[in-house]
C-alpha cells in the first residue's frame, strides 16, 4: 500500500518538479568540492585516532605485568612505519580529482598518496599528501623505501609485539569494532564516533575497549564470523583506498559479545587507558557522552553491540576507583 501511495505522490509531483539548471560538469565540480572536505576531514580523524592508538599500543607493549598474561606476542612482530597509502588506481573519478586539488598536482592513474601519522618516525621525513610512484618493504632490514619526486626515502619501521592494526572509515555511523584479517587483528573506527566523542580520553577508552576484546581472546571464539580475508591483502603494505574502507565497513560483521566479555573489555579497556596516561574518570563516561549527545537514530547499532545501562555505569565507576587507589590489575582480579 505504501508503495502505491508513494507512486502517486511521485507521479503527481513529477510534472511540477523543476529541473535544476546545472550542467554535469558543474555537478562534478561540486562533487569534487565535497570530496576534498571529506578527505581532509578523514585525514584529521586518522591523525587523531593514530595518536591515541599508538600511545595505547606502545604503553601496553611496554608494560611488563601484562606480558605473557594479557598480551600474548604474535608469532612475528608487527612492523609499522606510520604511513598510510591511498592507492590511486582504486579511486573513482571524483576522489581522484579531489586528491589532485589537495596535492595541487596532476596525478597519474597509478601510484600512491602518502599520509604520515603523528608520533611515528615517518612524519619528519614525508610530507602529508606526497605522491609516491611506488614503495617496497625490506623484510630483513624492516625498512620501507618510497620513491617520492624521484628521490628514495627510507623509513625504518617500528616493531610491535602484538599485531593489531587500525582503520578509520569514512562512515558517519557511530561505531567501532574489532575484527580479524588475514595477517592479524584490526580495529575499525568510524568517523561518526570521532565526531561525537571530541574528548580524547573518551575516544581512548573506546579504542582500548576494542583492543581488550582482541587481547582477551574474545574474537578467537568467533573466528568464523569475523574472519575477513583479503583486507590486508598487501601484507605489510596497507592500502587505505576508499574502496577498501568500504569493504571493511560492509563486510565487518559486528561481533556480539557476552555480558562477561563486555565487562572484561570494559575493565581492561579502562586499565589500558590509564596506562596510556589518560584521565580515566572522564574516559569512563564515554557511553554517557554518546547517549546524551548523538542522535538516537545513529546510535542503534552501537548500543546493540555495546549495551549500556546503570549496572555497567556503576561497574565502570568502581573500576576507576580501584585503579585510582593504586591497585594493580592482578590485585583487582584477585579481590573482586
Q: Determine the Cα angle at 154 with ends 150 and 160, to 5°.
A: 145
CB of 94 to Zn ion, least distance (A): 35
Stretch that binds Zn ion, among 140-148, 226-234, 246-254, 257-265 (CB under 5 A): 257-265
Neighbouring residues of 81: CB distance < 8 A, sequence distance ≥ 6: 120, 121, 122, 144, 155, 156, 157, 158
Separation between Cα atoms, residue 4 and residue 14, nearest integer Å: 15
CB of 213 to Zn ion, least distance (A): 6
CB of 25 to Zn ion, least distance (A): 47
Grid cell, residue 181, equals: 584479517
Stretch that binds Zn ion, among 41-49, 148-156, 216-224, 265-273 (CB under 5 A): 265-273
Separation between Cα atoms, residue 232 and residue 47, nearest integer Å: 20
Of 45 and 264, nearer to Zn ion (C-beta) is 264
CB of 157 to Zn ion, least distance (A): 30
Q: From 302, 231, 277, select the one nearest 51 (Cα to Cα).
A: 277
Q: Which residue is nearest to Zn ion (CB)?
A: 265
Residue 193 binding Zn ion, by CB under 5 A: no
For residue 211, count CB atoms less than 10 angstroms from its CB and return exposed for 0-12, middle for 13-18, buried for 19 or more. Answer: buried
Stretch that binds Zn ion, among 26-34, 133-141, 242-250, 262-270 (CB under 5 A): 262-270
Of 64 and 309, nearer to Zn ion (C-beta) is 309
Report how far apart the first and last C-alpha atoms of the chain are (Å, whole number): 57
Residue 265 binding Zn ion, by CB under 5 A: yes
Residue 126 binding Zn ion, by CB under 5 A: no
CB of 193 to Zn ion, least distance (A): 13
Stretch that binds Zn ion, among 8-16, 86-94, 146-154, 259-267 (CB under 5 A): 259-267
Of 137 and 308, nearer to Zn ion (C-beta) is 308
- CA-to-CA separations, 284 to 19, 55, 189, 218, 233, in angstroms, rounded: 51, 18, 18, 21, 36
CB of 225 to Zn ion, least distance (A): 15
The residues binding Zn ion (CB under 5 A) are 265
Amino acid at each position: 500500500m505504501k508503495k502505491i501511495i508513494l507512486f502517486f505522490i511521485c507521479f503527481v509531483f513529477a510534472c511540477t518538479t523543476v529541473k535544476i539548471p546545472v550542467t554535469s560538469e558543474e555537478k562534478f565540480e561540486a562533487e569534487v568540492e565535497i570530496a576534498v572536505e571529506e578527505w581532509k576531514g578523514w585525514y584529521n580523524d586518522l591523525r587523531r585516532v593514530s595518536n591515541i592508538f599508538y600511545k595505547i599500543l606502545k604503553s601496553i607493549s611496554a608494560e611488563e605485568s601484562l606480558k605473557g598474561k594479557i598480551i600474548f606476542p604474535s608469532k612475528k612482530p608487527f612492523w609499522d612505519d606510520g604511513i598510510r597509502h591511498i592507492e590511486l588506481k582504486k579511486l573513482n573519478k571524483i576522489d581522484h580529482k579531489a586528491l589532485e586539488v589537495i596535492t595541487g598536482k596532476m596525478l597519474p592513474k597509478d601510484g600512491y598518496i602518502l599520509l604520515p601519522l603523528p608520533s611515528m618516525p615517518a612524519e619528519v621525513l614525508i610530507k602529508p599528501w606526497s605522491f609516491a610512484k611506488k614503495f617496497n618493504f625490506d623484510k630483513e632490514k624492516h625498512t620501507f623505501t618510497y620513491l617520492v619526486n624521484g628521490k628514495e626515502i627510507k623509513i625504518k619501521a617500528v616493531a610491535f609485539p602484538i599485531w593489531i592494526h587500525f582503520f578509520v572509515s569514512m562512515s558517519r555511523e557511530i561505531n567501532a569494532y574489532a575484527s580479524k584479517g588475514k595477517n592479524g587483528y584490526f580495529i575499525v573506527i568510524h568517523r561518526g564516533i570521532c565526531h561525537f566523542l571530541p574528548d580524547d580520553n573518551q575516544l581512548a577508552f573506546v579504542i582500548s575497549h576494542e583492543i581488550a576484546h582482541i587481547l582477551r581472546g574474545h574474537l578467537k571464539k568467533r573466528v568464523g564470523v569475523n574472519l575477513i580475508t583479503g583486507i590486508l591483502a598487501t601484507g605489510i603494505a596497507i592500502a587505505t583506498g576508499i574502496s577498501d574502507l568500504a569493504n571493511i565497513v560492509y563486510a565487518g560483521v559486528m561481533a556480539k559479545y557476552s555480558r562477561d566479555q563486555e565487562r572484561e573489555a570494559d575493565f581492561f579497556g579502562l586499565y589500558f587507558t590509564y596506562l596510556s596516561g589518560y584521565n580515566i574518570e572522564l574516559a569512563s563516561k564515554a557511553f554517557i557522552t554518546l547517549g546524551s549527545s548523538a542522535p538516537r537514530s545513529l546510535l542503534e547499532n552501537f548500543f546493540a553491540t555495546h549495551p549500556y545501562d546503570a549496572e555497567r555505569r556503576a561497574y565502570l565507576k568502581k573500576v576507576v576507583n580501584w585503579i585510582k587507589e593504586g591497585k594493580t590489575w592482578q590485585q583487582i582480579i584477585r579481590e573482586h
